[in-house]
């Protein structure tokens, strides 16, 4: 195993630290034990033998027969889905090389992970240097960062200079020094650095870390710790943000919503009145100062005596204000539901048929299509809509039969404005006399409706409307979580 790969960005310093928060309940294992187990596993001779055996058993395409069989099996278990078919999207006309994405494959996953791990070292180098900068490992470097932040906060236009200055200082100058290295100190006592003459060294090219080198396993170590950091940070953020924002405690979430709404309106109207440069400068200095070891030690030592009592007092004041000013006892939403009692005429007698949500009028789509009415046979079987509950004890007959007929534009019916409020179908005279084939003498009922007078020939169906109040049914937090 090679010691390191030349011309590769790899974090050869201390490992990327693993975040830890008190009270998170994270299932992540102990970082020390995880590092020790990884070190033992990496130092085991069997691991090296397995890796070498796997490398020797690869086929000409670079993958073993076992990998191919496992890939075929997983492709059958996990079928690939086309996102355009799932979302019913129009086909994309762009290049197939850009649009086409292969499905899940063990071979591609293994190959891509090796390539990714060989090239991810530059991220860990940047992360390690940033941690050193913010934790005051070198006070001169951190003070230089504070000076740069101060200039940028006081003059935000300097943000346009940062990318170009960074490219000059961290890309161009190091690359030039590689081509034109300074002379050894033993040649001459002259301290001046001459820029004359041809290049003395080849240019530096960034290469990925070799797979069997220690740099490759250093990247795996840092990648492992970074995944644990992300999981711990993700769980911690959700543990802090979720309770006040998911309305499990409606009073607290309403307070947060009210605060965000007022803040949004205030910043939308008067953002120019705030000293943004001073605020950003103070925030920058406080953020960097909190990384100093002495400041952290002072906060840890005085947290119980100086920080916890004010926070508890502020929390109690907020709770008292919420309980006093946030009122959530408004009545639930109420609606009116309807059901139609249908009766069918047989041998001159009306028989109760069923209770349907539709009136089943002569020009309804169900009647035209020749379908039978749908509903329930008994009144007691009618249930409230999903998510609602009954607000009244019983159904009430709708006495405004004319109103709902006009509202629905029901035609060819006879309406009772008194009595039992039945709305009965009307038939043409030719249908009543049985001369359905005579079109010349037929006298059809005109569009619209007529008040009941008992003289018009009636049809096969009649209906009347019943109404009842429902209210929105509340869902407890336990039921919501279980659902």
Contact by Cβ (8 Å): 79, 72: no
What is the three-class DSSP state of 351?
A: strand
Q: Which residues of 180-191 are buried (b: 16+ CB within 10 A; e: fewer)?
A: beeeeeeeeeee
What single-letter DSSP state applies at residue 472? E
Angle ∠(354,359,361) on CA atoms, nearest 5: 115
**Which tokens in the block code for residue 373?**
């009415």
Q: What is the structure's pLDDT at 147? A: 95
Residues of the chain with pLDDT under 50: 24-29, 31-32, 34-35, 37-61, 83-84, 86-87, 432, 435-447, 477, 480, 483
Q: Answer whether 364's CB lies under 8 Å from 442's CB.
A: no
With contact defined as beta carbons under 8 Å apart, do 260 and 241 qualify? no
DSSP 405-447: HHHHT--SEEE-SSTT--EEEE--HHHHHT-TT-SSS--PPPS
CB neighbourhood size of 164 (10 A):
9
> Is 8 within 8 Å of 121 (Cβ atoms)?
yes
Q: Which residue has the tokens 């992970």?
A: 113
Residue 310's pLDDT is: 86
Return the pLDDT at 234.
94
| Per-residue confidence (pLDDT) for residue 180, from 0 to 100 | 85
| pLDDT for position 25 | 47
Count other C-beta atoms under 10 Å from residue 276's C-beta.
Answer: 12
CA nearest to 465, candidates 340, 364, 336, 335? 340
Instruction: Give dist(CA 265, CA 304) in Å, integer.
Output: 37
The b/e string for 330-344 (b: 16+ C-beta within 10 A; e otherwise) is eeeeeeebebbbbbe
pLDDT of res. 4: 61
Specify burial of residue 16 (Cβ count, 10 A radius: 0-12, 13-18, 19+).
Answer: buried
- Length of the chain as a residue count: 483
- How far apart CA 56 and CA 63 sit, in angstroms, is 10
Closest by CA to 257, choosing from 242, 271, 270, 247, is 247
The CB-based long-range contact list for 17-20 (8 Å cut-off, 24+ gap) reads 17/131, 17/225, 17/229, 18/225, 18/228, 18/229, 18/232, 19/228, 19/229, 19/232, 19/233, 20/232
In this prediction, residue 187 carries a pLDDT of 57
Instruction: Retrieve residue 203's tokens.
Output: 């240019």
Q: Are 462 and 343 in contact (CB under 8 A)?
A: yes
Backbone phi, psi, residue 395, to 5°: -80, 150
Which residues share a beta bridge with 413? 425, 449
What is the Cα–Cα distance from 185 to 204, expressed in whole angstroms? Answer: 23
pTM over 0.85: no
């Amino acid at each position: 195993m090679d010691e390191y790969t030349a011309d590769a960005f790899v974090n050869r310093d201390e490992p990327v630290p693993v975040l830890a928060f008190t009270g998170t309940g994270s299932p992540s294992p102990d970082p020390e034990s995880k590092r020790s187990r990884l070190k033992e596993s990496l130092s085991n001779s069997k691991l090296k033998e397995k890796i070498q055996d796997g490398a020797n058993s690869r086929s000409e395409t670079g993958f073993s027969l076992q990998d191919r069989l496992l890939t075929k099996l997983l492709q059958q278990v996990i079928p690939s889905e086309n996102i355009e078919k799932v979302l019913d999207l129009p086909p994309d006309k762009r290049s197939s090389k850009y649009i086409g994405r292969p499905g899940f494959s063990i071979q591609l996953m293994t190959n891509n992970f090796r390539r990714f791990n060989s090239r991810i070292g530059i991220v860990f180098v940047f992360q390690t240097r940033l941690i050193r900068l913010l934790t005051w490992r070198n006070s001169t470097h951190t003070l230089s960062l504070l000076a740069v932040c101060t200039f940028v906060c006081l003059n935000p236009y300097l943000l346009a200079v940062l990318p170009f200055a960074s490219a000059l200082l961290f890309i161009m100058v190091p690359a030039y020094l590689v081509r034109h290295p300074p002379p050894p100190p033993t040649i001459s006592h002259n301290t001046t650095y001459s820029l004359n003459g041809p290049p003395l060294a080849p240019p530096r090219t960034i290469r990925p870390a070799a797979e069997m080198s220690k740099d490759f396993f250093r990247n795996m170590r840092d990648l492992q710790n970074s995944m644990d950091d992300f999981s711990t940070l993700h769980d911690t953020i959700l543990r802090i943000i979720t309770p006040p924002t998911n309305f499990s405690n409606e009073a607290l979430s309403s307070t947060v919503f009210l605060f965000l709404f007022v803040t949004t309106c205030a910043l939308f109207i008067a953002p120019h009145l705030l000293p943004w440069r001073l605020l950003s400068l103070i925030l920058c200095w406080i953020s960097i100062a909190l990384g100093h070891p002495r400041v952290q030690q002072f906060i840890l030592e005085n947290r119980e005596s100086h920080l916890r009592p004010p926070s508890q007092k502020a929390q109690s004041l907020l709770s008292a204000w919420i309980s006093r000013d946030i009122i959530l006892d408004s009545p639930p939403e109420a609606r009116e539901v309807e059901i139609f009692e249908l009766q069918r005429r047989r041998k001159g007698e009306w028989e109760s048929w069923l209770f349907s949500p539709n009136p089943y009028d002569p020009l309804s789509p169900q009647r035209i299509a020749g379908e039978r009415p749908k509903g329930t046979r008994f009144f007691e079987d009618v249930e409230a809509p999903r998510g609602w509950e009954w607000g009244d004890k019983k159904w009430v007959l709708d006495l405004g039969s004319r109103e709902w007929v006009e509202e629905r534009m029901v035609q060819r019916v006879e309406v009772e404005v008194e009595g039992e409020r039945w709305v009965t179908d009307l038939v043409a005279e030719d249908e009543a006399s049985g001369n359905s084939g005579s079109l010349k003498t037929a006298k059809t009922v005109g569009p619209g409706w007529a008040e009941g007078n008992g003289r018009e020939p009636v049809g096969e169906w009649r209906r009347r409307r019943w109404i009842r109040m429902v209210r929105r049914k509340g869902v407890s937090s336990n039921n919501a979580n279980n659902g």
